Chain A
Amino acid sequence: MSVFALDRIAQKFPDALAHRYTDRGGGAWGVVKPGALREVMSQLKNDPELEFKLFLSADAVDRLQLPDPAPRFEVVYLLRSLKRGEVAQLKVRVPEEAPELPSVTPIFQGANWWERFIWDFYGIRFAGHPDLRRILLYEEFKGHPLRKDYRLRDRQPLVPERPLRDIFRGPGTSGAA
């Protein structure tokens, strides 16, 4: 969607983008190197030509079961510019061994809860986040349930559940185990 923004980023920070491609809907994506994430984000926000001020969301993808699973995680950032009427779609690749990224919460307040969400469900840490706690799950929860190796039926009730028969969910990728 926003080819212009990616061009401008590539021009300002020649080393920041590792890769660029177009998705099935025709949207342009930029793969940012982790070290350049913060400067790219603040450029997108503060550049008067771009003004990507609306922080839409961030989430991660666990690529464990995709054909090319390394590096394992991708963190996706979506920003919107009302001035240009475009979405900036960025992603950062994160290896399994060192799941940590610089936090963008100092740049976008809106990233705060989404980074907590990613920590909660994928176990990726954000250095410099003011308050990196779990957000939807409870602190006693073990593991990160949206990782593909977390099985669907691994329940961890905080309060013991009543003895109801579990519902079998069919032959899902991780449900059969």
Chain B
Amino acid sequence: MAEPVDAAPQAGESELEAHLETKRMIVNLGPSHPAMHGTVRMRVELEGETIVRADPEIGFLHRGFQKSCENVTWTQCLPYTDRLNYVSALMNNFGFLNAVEKLIGLEIPERAKFIRVIGSELHRMADHLTCVGAVALELGGFSAFLYAIEARELLVDRVTELTGARLTTTFGRVGGLNRDLPDGWVDKVLKSLDKIALLRDEVDALLTKNRIFVDRMKGTGVIAAEDALDYGFTGPCLRACGVNYDVRKAHPYWIYPALDFDVPLGRNGDNFDRYIVRIEELKQCDRMVRQALSLLPPGPVILDDWRIVLPPKPEVYGTIEGVMAHFKLIMEGIQVPAGEVYDCTEAANGELGWYLVSDGGGRPYKVHVRSPGFAILAGVPRMIEGRMLADLIPTFDTINMIGGEVEQ
């Protein structure tokens, strides 16, 4: 282990210029370290400042997501899905509901599809802004971070008005949504989008041509497209390698086929490309939300089927059928037909997949979540081994690992 690497001064070197004797050293980054988002421990083997081996150790945030889901009804799983990616909870909620609906074989109302897309895209913006802000923060650009977080707060405020919660939204129900948009919300969103566009451009202007920032980001944390696929990268991290894969385009769901948007691609698969892909995606999200808001059709937001959806309150209090339907749904849960299904949606960090198994009862038999961050974190050693320790920080930022979804 402790082999001296660079020993005595070589010929022609004076004592002052001589290489320092270095030994291979093991450094633990985390689990509580300002640069480790969430609680992840990185066991890094260093030779001088070069990383020889890195081994991410995860699980400090494990909460038994799957086991918990297997012991509650399908609807009661919803709050657990919030806590997977707590930066963009709506996308987890809707992704899970979409998979359950596929398993039952439901088609949700048109308006609900629109609102799901609007909610998802707002939260995608929040996620990307948080990521970009965190990169800037950890590379020393505190003001860019504040602009990004100011923009994110606007989004969080709109989401709060929609769902009643800042982060753990638990929004949507099997068969649609639990409530419609609040009055005047559309105008507020449009105003917020204008403000967010200004803040986003400010962040862009502060960072994208900033010499210090670019020097830290360009050419660091590189991964080739072939390797990225092999590790299972999806989302912005895969698109930064130039691979054109976006679930919204490849397997369109909800109303994405009706929206006009581009999929930004990178070229080099390095930190800078991952950053710039996110900035470009922010612009696309803005476009999508505006289009969806302008096309928003009237109508119900949830199905009218009491085997799946809770009856309206006057029916529950006024009719025996309503009471019974309510009682059955609360006590036994939605009776999902026995079977299995794999379904995926595009979350902020990539393909969020669900493999669900039902035994025909009111509780899931198996809830497998394919969290995008899990695969990406597994690929981090490939991206940083042989590089400088300082490269680890932006790499860890731009992959945007979220402890909740990786560690379930």
Q: Which residue numbers of A lie inside 8 Å of B, CB to CB? A: 23-25, 27, 53-57, 59, 61, 65-67, 76, 78, 80, 82, 85, 87, 89, 108-110, 112-114, 121, 134-138, 145-146, 150, 152, 169-170, 172-175
Contact = CB atoms under 8 A, between A and B. Distances in A.
Contacts of A152: 67, 71
16 contacts: A23-B340, A24-B339, A25-B342, A55-B230, A55-B232, A56-B232, A56-B370, A57-B232, A61-B366, A67-B359, A76-B355, A78-B353, A109-B378, A146-B66, A169-B72, A172-B363
B363 A24 contact: no
B351 interface: yes
Interface stretch (B79-87, B144-152, B243-251): B243-251
A174 B67 CA distance: 10
Contact of B71 (A25, A53, A113, A169): A169
A173 B250 CA distance: 38
B234 A54 contact: yes
B357 A61 contact: yes
A24 B64 contact: no
B307 interface: no
Interface residues of B, number: 47
A24 B231 contact: no
B353 A56 contact: yes
A150 B64 CA distance: 12
Given A23-B341, A61-B366, A174 B71 contact: yes
Given A27-B342, A54-B245, A55-B232, A66 B359 contact: yes
The 4 A-B residue pairs whose C-beta atoms are closest, nearest first, are A172-B71, A110-B232, A136-B59, A24-B339
Interface string B359-391: 100010110101000110011001000000000
B376 to A, nearest CB: 10
Contact of A146 (B59, B67, B234, B370): B67
A82 B263 CA distance: 15
B385 to A, nearest CB: 13
Main secondary structure of the interface of B (DSSP, over half): mixed
B227 interface: yes
A102 B307 CA distance: 44
A145 B185 CA distance: 44
Given A23-B341, A137-B62, 10 more contacts: A25-B103, A53-B230, A57-B374, A61-B357, A65-B359, A109-B230, A121-B66, A136-B62, A169-B71, A174-B71
B297 interface: no
Given A57-B353, A65-B365, A112 B370 contact: no
Contacts of A85: 250-251
Contact of B231 (A55, A138, A150, A173): A55
Contacts of A56: 232, 351, 353, 370
Nearest to B62: A136
Contact of B70 (A23, A137, A173): A173
B337 interface: yes
A150 B54 CA distance: 33
B102 interface: yes
A148 to B, nearest CB: 8
Contact of B355 (A78, A80, A135, A175): A78
A115 B105 CA distance: 31
Contacts of A113: 374-375, 378
Contact of B103 (A24, A80, A87): A24
A54 B237 CA distance: 13
Interface of B: 58-59, 62, 64, 66-67, 70-72, 102-103, 105, 226-227, 229-232, 234, 243-245, 250-251, 337, 339-343, 351, 353, 355, 357, 359, 363, 365-366, 368, 370, 374-375, 378-379, 382, 407-408
Main secondary structure of the interface of A (DSSP, over half): loop
Nearest to B234: A54
Contacts of A150: 67
B229 A54 contact: yes
Contacts of B71: 152, 169-170, 172-175
Given A55-B231, A82-B243, A87-B342, A170 B58 contact: no
Contacts of B359: 65-67
A137 B59 contact: yes
A25 B340 CA distance: 8
A80 B234 CA distance: 11
Contacts of A169: 71-72
Given A66-B359, A109-B230, A113-B374, A89 B245 contact: no
B337 A24 contact: yes
A173 B70 CA distance: 8
A55 B375 contact: yes
A172 to B, nearest CB: 3
Contacts of B244: 82
A147 to B, nearest CB: 10
Contacts of A54: 229, 232, 234, 245
Contacts of A55: 229-232, 375
Contacts of A65: 359, 365
Nearest to A147: B67
